[in-house]
Structure 1
Amino acid sequence: MLPALDHIDAWIFDLDNTLYPATCDLFGLIDQRMTDYVARTAGLDREAAYQLQKKLFREHGTTLSGLMTLHEVDPHHFLEDVHAIEMDVLAEDRRLIESLAALPGRKLIFTNGDAPYARRVLERIGLSETFEAIHDIHACAYQPKPSAHSYASMIESFGVDPTRALFADDMARNLKPAKDHGITTLWIDNGSEQVGELGAGDWIDYRTGDLGAWLAAIVKD
C-alpha cells in the first residue's frame, strides 16, 4: 500500500465507466433509451430530444433531474425504463476483483444510477459480494453528483470520515466536491468524460486510465 494511502479505511467508487472500461460503452445503450424517453415526454423528434437531453444533463447534473424539474417525471419509471438494457458487453476483470478484495477497509458504491441497476452491473462483472452498500440517486434525494448535497448525504449515510476515505470517479468534475469535503480523489481518466470537463485540477490527488492496474499496484506495495 502506498504510504500516502495507509490512512484510507473507506474506498468509495462510482459505478459506470469506473468499475468497468469505458470502451464497453454500456452507457451508450442507456443514452439511446434516455433520448427515446425525452422524445416521448417532451413530444420531440429524436434529434431535438437528444439536444434537450444533453442540455438537461449540463444544467441539472443528470437528465433525470432535469426531467423531474421541468416535466414532473416519476424517477422510478424513468430509471426502470432507461436501465432496461442487456449487459452482454460487460465482463469480469480478475485483476480488479482480486485487488478490490485485497483492499483494507470498507468498499462502497456512490452512483447517480439506482441500486437495482447497480446490483445488475456488479453481478455481471463479478463484484456482487464486494461492496458493503450502495448510495444511489434515490438516497441523494435526486440531487446527483456533482451537487454538494449528494456528497454530504453519502458521507452521512455511510458514516465515513472524509479524511480517511478515497473516492474514484471517471468524471473529473465529480471529484471536486469530494475534495472539498476532505476526501482523497482518484480520477479514472479513460476518455469517458462527457460534458463540463474541468480537467485535472488540484482537487485530483491520483489519476489512472486503468483502475484494476492502479489498485493492483497499490495493494502490492
Structure 2
Amino acid sequence: MAFDHVTTWIFDLDNTLYPPEAALFSQIEARMTAHVSRLLGVDAPEADRLRAHYWRDYGTTLAGLMARHKIDPHAYLLDVHDIDFSVLDPDPDLGHAIAALPGRKIVHTNADAQYAGKVLGRLGLDGFETVIGIGEVDFHPKPDPRAYAAVIAATGLDPSRAAMFEDDPRNLQVPASLGMETILVGEGRLGPDAPAGNGQHGAHVRHHTRDLTAFLRALV
C-alpha cells in the first residue's frame, strides 16, 4: 500500500543493484588510494586516510579532491573505474523484478555514467529510462541537495510519487524530505569502507531490505 502512488523508481548503482560481496568497490577503493597518493605525493596510508576522510566529509572522495585540490574529475574517474568487471554476473531475476515495476525507472549514481553503463551491461539490466551520473549533476554528489534537484530538473519527476533505493543511509535523507519513499538496501554502510549500521538509521529510512529482488517482487 505504501507504494501504490509511486510512478518513478530511482536506484543507486554500487552495492545496491549488485551485492557488496562482489567486491567491485574494493577494486575502486584501491585505485582511489593509488590515485590520491600520486596526485598529492603522499604515502599509501595517508592517501587511504584522505580517501576515507573526503568520503565522509564531502559525500565522495572525488568531491573532496575537487573542493580541496581543484583536480580534474574526468581524469580521476577514468583512472579509478579502470577495473575488472568480470566479478559481476548477470542477474536476470533482478532484471525481471525491475521490469515489472509500473512506471519510470532511473539510475542515479555518484559514479560516472560510462562506468554505470559497464556495470549495468554486466548485470544484464537494461530496463532504465536514463542513467544520471556525477557528470549529469555538475559533480555534486549525493547527499548534496543539488544532486537531487538536478535529477528532478532533468527528468521532471514528482518526488512525492517517487521511491529511492540506496545502500548508504546518508543518501536517503534529502529524498525523504522531498516526500519520496526511501528504501535502504543492505546493511546500511556510511560509505563503502565504513562499518555496517546498527539497524537504527532514523525516520528518513522508511523501508529496509537485504534482498532487493525479493522486495521488488513483493511490490508487484
TM-score by length of 1: 0.94
Check the 8 A contact 1:35/1:49 in 2, yes or no. yes
RMSD: 1.5
Residue number in structure 1 paired with 2:208: 207
Higher mean Cα deviation, 162-171 or 129-138?
129-138
Quote the residue 1:9 is aligned against: 7
Q: CA deviation digits over 1:138-172, x for unaligned, max 9?
A: 12211110011111111111110001100000001
The question of whether the paired residues in 1 share the 8 Å contact of 2:169 and 2:189 is answered with no
Q: Is residue 169–residue 188 contact of structure 2 (8 Å, CA) maintained in 1? A: no
- Unmatched tracts of structure 1, length 5 or more: none
Q: Is the 8 A contact 1:22 1:191 kept in 2?
A: no
Query: Is the 8 Å Cα contact of residues 168 and 188 (structure 2) preserved in structure 1?
Result: no
Higher mean C-alpha displacement, 36-45 vs 148-157:
148-157
Letter in 2 for 1:85: I
Q: 1:56 to 1:193 in 2, by over 3 A?
A: closer
Q: Which residue of 1 aligns with 2:174?
A: 177
Deviation of 1:191 after TM superposition, in Å, equals 5.4
Q: Distance in 1 between matches of 2:124 and 2:189?
A: 22
| Number of equivalences | 216
Distance in 1, matches of 2:188 and 2:10, equals: 20
Task: Provide the C-alpha distance between the structure 1 equivalents of 2:219 and 2:8, rounded to a whole number of angstroms.
Answer: 15
Structure 1 stretch displaced more, 194-203 or 55-64 = 194-203
Which of 105, 108, 112 aligns to 1:107? It is 105
1: distance between equivalents of 2:61 and 2:139? 11
Q: How much does 1:20 deviate?
A: 0.4
CA distance in 2, matches of 1:93, 1:119: 15
Amino acid at match of 1:123: G
Structure 2 residue aligned with 1:47: 45
Separation in 2, partners of 1:202, 1:59: 22
Unmatched tracts of structure 2, length 5 or more: none
Change (3 A) 1:191 1:182: closer
- Matched with 2:121 is 123
1:19 is aligned to 17
Letter in 1 for 2:163: L
Match of 1:134 among 116, 131, 134: 131
| Cα distance in 2, alignment partners of residues 120 and 173 from structure 1 | 25
**Contact kept in structure 2, 1:167 and 1:178, CA below 8 Å:** yes
> Which deviations, in whole Å up to 9, do the C-alpha atoms of 1:148-204 show, x marking residues without a partner?
111111111111000110000000111011101111100002354434969421111
Residue 175 of structure 1 aligns to a residue whose secondary structure is helix
Contact 2:16–2:186 at 8 Å: present in 1 too?
no
- Give the match for residue 29 of structure 1: 27
Which one-letter code corresponds to 1:84 in the other structure? D
TM-score by length of 2: 0.94
Q: In 2 relative to 1, CA 22–191 (structure 1 residues): closer, same or farther, beyond 3 Å?
A: farther
Query: Residue 166 of structure 1 contacts residue 185 of structure 1 at CA under 8 Å; is this kept in 2?
Result: yes
Partner SS state of residue 108, structure 1: strand
